[in-house]
Structure 1
């Protein structure tokens, strides 16, 4: 933080190199005046978030039935040649970008993302949110002198004519943010027509601090090329008129782009191993001590790659399953993390099988997994189409926290290939559709694998200390159940805190867990399959997901209630047992009628009669248990509700082994239940089957009368608390 203040104080001196570069970029020759009939297309709102109106049936060209010539409706094509200088950590790029105007009006300006400029100075939107809002990003690696990175345009032409450009801030961020650039086209793009832009660009990669960059010889090259924004049309994700969805690069936002074709040539020095999105096509070409690799992938919306001369021999495997091509799985890893390679390969193959079975067949021919080297952990836990980075651990023995971390992150990042990749939701505005739903589906897979979170190490295992909790219980720890600050459907940048953004993962997974408990595991899986089949290779909204859940489960009221409480609003769930008693229902003193006469039963006489009856009963029942006797017991339970209305269950267990169960819901702040039975109550438990993980405090859900187990519950709570920090780190990936 002090270093940021120093940069601000130095002002012009430090900003001068950047300012000079910008001036050079803006000095492109003037273009011919645009067609006066060509009107500017507005931006999506700066506070756009959860969509409540379903998309039109024909949005994004309508559902993909499988008989089309291509998997997606390809809107853009990128032909890129990138040359890496691994010493200076720079990339010289030449790009031919072909874009199709899907709208019914001419387009005279387009917008490109320049994501790397988030790391050019402390004055970008990304960095100012960290500084001014005290947002934290994952492990918060500080940016040291010389660690900054940027991207600049050297030349942009349309059909041989120079294109002018200027940086804009669609979300009202600082004027110093250069993550979105506007191109004013010499020739407007007619409705349904395409245009090609020739772009020369240059990247200075940052030291790995957030998702992308270098460490030593290791390079993770992501968010690296000028990437066109999405032109949304009426009926798509709540749009009522054409709009550019092209938000700035916020600290907690990720990405959103059109499907298209990628043909990328990557030139590196000889001796470097390269992995990338898609299939390597043809043999590498060697010239002048450098090697050029060509990777091609269609029907994706992003492209990333890695290069390092320290990678060990790649570990390869394959997946073959119904409806999928033969999928080559490759793991790239540094020698120090050789032990991570086989577990990562197996977790990826298992994920291919699980996601293909429960959602739909994996459609691509490759998956590349990258294990980052030591000191480059911030490169881990990031997803791109057919390519992702996992985590790296020194020791990944089975049933340890490290092994769980490696498996979890591998499964999670692969899962993004479905929720971020194939479904292609808008991660800027509706991150729950990717991060949250993926987190839930990952936990379902881990549950099926019978894999739990083990809070132990090899040394602790040797002494027999190996506590573990279920994955969904771990999610609950990070779900901010006690005082949720933001609705699940809120966008990625309008958040109270980084912790609140983290609930996109864990609170969504917890909410989906609770919905599964209400509608049934099979019903919810049926709904997710419907959602995937209907919206694959399109761009669904939260409203589209909600409608698929309603149709797939057939339970409209249940789905709409949970969306109203948790997705479009923020409602705490907090039910508790406030009072619990079970006392003998003894005769009481006073007048009674006997034989037509009113007789007073005195306390003294009543006490004697009660004592005599107890004595006689014990003589006849010498083996009676505690809580059994000649008189019935009146059991009373008072339940408090300090939050949202959820279907609740109360179960009271009695000394004779019997139980009473009541179901109730409603917004009343309290409910009282009572029974008169021959046996004394032993315990009262809310949510006895663990269906409501959103409840803010599970410890006040249960009461016992005889044995006090509060210390045991506290010990268990302490153990799970020890796991919370680790799990909070995992869910921020």
Structure 2
């Protein structure tokens, strides 16, 4: 690997030579000349692009895909790749033919490619710059040290035999040292409706496993490893009003966006390595000089990832069939130390195939590969690619344990991405809610239906008798910023004060609250309509909104939630502020009685009250406390210190009766009153717990008499726990 000073010296010489001849650089390690406009004038998507508010045109990306189409997708960009892995140097040497079709009505001279692996070439990338600025680690916090860096070097690019000049660009105004996007200026324009083929040679140095890709020992997870063309969006697609390239830098918390196409990939690795990849293996691998070439083909996908490891155990292979889907070959690749995880991962994957196919639409592919990374390579786990996902591994997976819950949860979650990222191929840079948020909501629904809706306590807490458990949606609620939310779920992936986590937790909570508002069946109809309209296309948040509103039949509710909690972010904080319930007793003074004015002193009133009470108790010996001869006036004041949400208020009375009233007005407070024959016992907002976005559910209700059962129970548990800890300390 070149030293930094050698690289700089070589680049300076190459730059001088290129400028002298009027040519551009085609050397991956070289700095780019100053940016110049694209040759065809086609603009890039804005650096702050986020949630789209205007629905796409009906014909966007060829219109709704149905049985009348010869292919599942439009197949805009297709790849023929040959790649060889050096497992000692952890280098992939590759060549590819990229065939791209110009869908626009204008000639195209400049195209953009993502070189994602350059995010890991050094500390100057946008990825690592954002890490330093935020003071945050990525996911599992694996650090990249000396010798652990990775990169992708474009060795040559040709169009019809002619060299293609190219340069690095920073579409999001990131540092000039970010090399994750390059612009290729084509010698020959691509006419409207025409295709061009670009021949590329590249070398990819894999990093030590970091941010979803890389190597550890003999294990290799090879993802975002080849030059990938950006998406040219047309007017009427995701808010575009003119052709534009959607090409963003690789941010710390962004993922990906690409055109559908076909992949025909030959992977050459040493004999003895187990290989898994996107798509279907074509026949037996071909051996040559101790190397095996595995050929995988998959149509109608927008990415390709693979793995190779000489330590893998024999793969676990089963099949799954379901209505409307082909027979699916499911395989689990796992290291020997995590053998206990293989069968649970297989069951979770097959259950997910059945559930997502039933609740959204049929799974369209013939394969699904689940990879469990080995010990010390967990950063490669928990990620999704078309027909290929990575899960998590455990040496032991006891029933009803946290390990079982997390293994199942991760497997189901990553499979779900096969729908929300894979088939419903949204722009994960600009609208991550459509993938991470919707998938988190939908797979939590599956866990709830599967009987795993409760998050168990860790094993060591169970062993000492302190084992609080939370409903899955309660866990998401607790992890969501509610009191002071800063970022709308529809915001893009990188311009977020509170990071990417709320895209998962708050988005899922927003959808869960909408489900409570319109009903589970209506929500499922809306999601099925979303899948029907937008499978094998590229929907926006506005497209999801319209499909959900039409499919559910609850347009007003959907539009209200999107306006307040998707395009914006609003605090929800309703509470029962005051409750009073007092007897309506006779009062002293004068009154008209049979046309005559009668005067009654306080003593006389008190005597009459006592007499009436005694008579009533004699007539009602079994009466409940809080009832009597006089009615009670009950007043309940509710307060609102955030966005308006439709509320129910339930007031319960001592005689067992109750009153339920809706509070839907957009106002800061309201006082409700009743005159009833019994005293109020309690007042409660949101009795069905429909609003998980609410800052504090504890102030949703008030009791007329103190009820210390909850505090006593939790206080006793806490006291017992701390007493145990002190006892352990005392014995040390």
What TM-score, normalized to structure 1?
0.92
Q: Deviations over 1:31-55 (max 9, x none)?
A: 69xxx99623110011111111111
| Runs (5+) with no aligned partner, structure 2 | 25-36, 722-732
The structure-2 alpha-carbon separation of the partners of 1:483 and 1:267, relative to structure 1 and needing over 3 Å to count, comes to same
| Residue 308, structure 1, aligned to residue 309, structure 2 | yes
SS in 1 for 2:72: coil
State the shift of 1:16 in Å.
Answer: 3.3
CA contact (8 A) 1:573 1:696 kept: yes
Q: 2:157 corresponds to which residue? A: 156
- Which has the larger displacement, 450-459 or 673-682? 450-459
SS in 2 for 1:636: strand
State the shift of 1:716 in Å.
Answer: 9.6
State the shift of 1:201 in Å.
Answer: 0.7
CA contact (8 A) 1:25 1:153 kept: no
Q: 1:259 corresponds to which residue? A: 260
Q: 2:610 corresponds to which residue? A: 611
SS in 2 for 1:690: coil
The structure-2 alpha-carbon separation of the partners of 1:564 and 1:299, relative to structure 1 and needing over 3 Å to count, comes to same
The structure-2 alpha-carbon separation of the partners of 1:40 and 1:595, relative to structure 1 and needing over 3 Å to count, comes to closer
State the shift of 1:464 in Å.
Answer: 5.8
Q: 2:334 corresponds to which residue? A: 333
Q: 1:16 corresponds to which residue? A: 5
| Residue 89, structure 1, aligned to residue 90, structure 2 | yes
Q: 2:531 corresponds to which residue? A: 532
State the shift of 1:316 in Å.
Answer: 1.1
CA contact (8 A) 1:397 1:458 kept: no
State the shift of 1:589 in Å.
Answer: 2.2
The structure-2 alpha-carbon separation of the partners of 1:226 and 1:472, relative to structure 1 and needing over 3 Å to count, comes to same
What TM-score, normalized to structure 2?
0.92
Matching of residues 69-148 of structure 1 within 5 Å:
69-148=70-149
CA contact (8 A) 2:444 2:453 kept: no
Mapped partners of 2:112, 2:377: distance in 1? 32
| Residue 343, structure 1, aligned to residue 344, structure 2 | yes
Q: Deviations over 1:238-272 (max 9, x none)?
A: 00000000100011110000000101111111111
Mapped partners of 2:312, 2:716: distance in 1? 42
Mapped partners of 1:90, 1:461: distance in 2? 46
Q: 1:392 corresponds to which residue? A: 393
The structure-2 alpha-carbon separation of the partners of 1:324 and 1:81, relative to structure 1 and needing over 3 Å to count, comes to same
State the shift of 1:305 in Å.
Answer: 0.5
Mapped partners of 2:230, 2:404: distance in 1? 39
Kindly report the root-mean-square deviation, in angstroms, between the aligned alpha carbons of the 2 structures: 2.3
CA contact (8 A) 2:466 2:717 kept: no
Q: 1:165 corresponds to which residue? A: 166
State the shift of 1:87 in Å.
Answer: 1.3
Mapped partners of 1:232, 1:695: distance in 2? 38
Mapped partners of 2:466, 2:570: distance in 1? 38
State the shift of 1:171 in Å.
Answer: 0.6
The structure-2 alpha-carbon separation of the partners of 1:18 and 1:334, relative to structure 1 and needing over 3 Å to count, comes to farther
Mapped partners of 1:618, 1:22: distance in 2? 100
CA contact (8 A) 2:488 2:568 kept: yes
State the shift of 1:227 in Å.
Answer: 0.4
The structure-2 alpha-carbon separation of the partners of 1:559 and 1:376, relative to structure 1 and needing over 3 Å to count, comes to same
Mapped partners of 2:530, 2:440: distance in 1? 16
Q: Deviations over 1:422-457 (max 9, x none)?
A: 010000000111111111111111121121233324
Matching of residues 213-612 of structure 1 within 5 Å:
213-458=214-459, 460-461=461-462, 466-498=467-499, 501-612=500-611
Q: Deviations over 1:2-50 (max 9, x none)?
A: xxxxxxxxxxx97435546766887788669xxx996231100111111
Mapped partners of 1:628, 1:510: distance in 2? 41
Mapped partners of 1:57, 1:586: distance in 2? 68
State the shift of 1:466 in Å.
Answer: 4.4
Mapped partners of 1:450, 1:192: distance in 2? 51
Q: Deviations over 1:261-285 (max 9, x none)?
A: 1011111111110100001111111
Matching of residues 190-205 of structure 1 within 5 Å:
190-205=191-206
Q: 2:647 corresponds to which residue? A: 648
State the shift of 1:657 in Å.
Answer: 1.4
State the shift of 1:580 in Å.
Answer: 1.4
Mapped partners of 2:118, 2:712: distance in 1? 50
Q: 2:674 corresponds to which residue? A: 675
SS in 1 for 2:43: coil
State the shift of 1:717 in Å.
Answer: 14
SS in 2 for 1:572: coil
The structure-2 alpha-carbon separation of the partners of 1:526 and 1:621, relative to structure 1 and needing over 3 Å to count, comes to same
SS in 2 for 1:104: coil
SS in 2 for 1:586: coil
Matching of residues 668-707 of structure 1 within 5 Å:
668-707=667-706
Mapped partners of 1:416, 1:236: distance in 2? 22
Q: 1:728 corresponds to which residue? A: none
CA contact (8 A) 1:221 1:305 kept: yes
Mapped partners of 1:716, 1:290: distance in 2? 65
Q: Deviations over 1:438-486 (max 9, x none)?
A: 1111111112112123332445556665433222122111221211111
CA contact (8 A) 1:30 1:163 kept: no
Q: Deviations over 1:338-391 (max 9, x none)?
A: 111111111110111111111111000000001111111111110000001011
The structure-2 alpha-carbon separation of the partners of 1:199 and 1:21, relative to structure 1 and needing over 3 Å to count, comes to farther
State the shift of 1:104 in Å.
Answer: 1.1
Mapped partners of 1:657, 1:21: distance in 2? 86
CA contact (8 A) 1:231 1:243 kept: yes
State the shift of 1:116 in Å.
Answer: 0.6
| Residue 708, structure 1, aligned to residue 697, structure 2 | no
CA contact (8 A) 2:172 2:248 kept: yes
Q: 2:32 corresponds to which residue? A: none
State the shift of 1:714 in Å.
Answer: 8.8
Mapped partners of 1:30, 1:118: distance in 2? 29
CA contact (8 A) 1:116 1:149 kept: yes
Mapped partners of 1:285, 1:21: distance in 2? 39
SS in 1 for 2:44: coil
Mapped partners of 1:293, 1:506: distance in 2? 40
SS in 2 for 1:415: helix
Mapped partners of 1:351, 1:217: distance in 2? 30
CA contact (8 A) 1:31 1:185 kept: no
SS in 1 for 2:515: helix
Mapped partners of 1:456, 1:640: distance in 2? 35
- Which has the larger displacement, 363-372 or 678-687? 678-687
Mapped partners of 1:230, 1:678: distance in 2? 69
The structure-2 alpha-carbon separation of the partners of 1:43 and 1:18, relative to structure 1 and needing over 3 Å to count, comes to farther
Mapped partners of 1:441, 1:475: distance in 2? 13
Mapped partners of 2:204, 2:709: distance in 1? 59
Q: 2:725 corresponds to which residue? A: none
SS in 2 for 1:569: coil
Mapped partners of 1:665, 1:522: distance in 2? 23
State the shift of 1:679 in Å.
Answer: 1.4
- Which has the larger displacement, 449-458 or 239-248? 449-458
| Runs (5+) with no aligned partner, structure 1 | 1-12, 723-733
Q: 1:628 corresponds to which residue? A: 627
CA contact (8 A) 1:121 1:148 kept: yes
Mapped partners of 2:686, 2:508: distance in 1? 18
State the shift of 1:697 in Å.
Answer: 1.0
SS in 2 for 1:432: helix
State the shift of 1:308 in Å.
Answer: 0.7
CA contact (8 A) 1:401 1:453 kept: no
- Which has the larger displacement, 303-312 or 584-593? 584-593
State the shift of 1:137 in Å.
Answer: 2.1
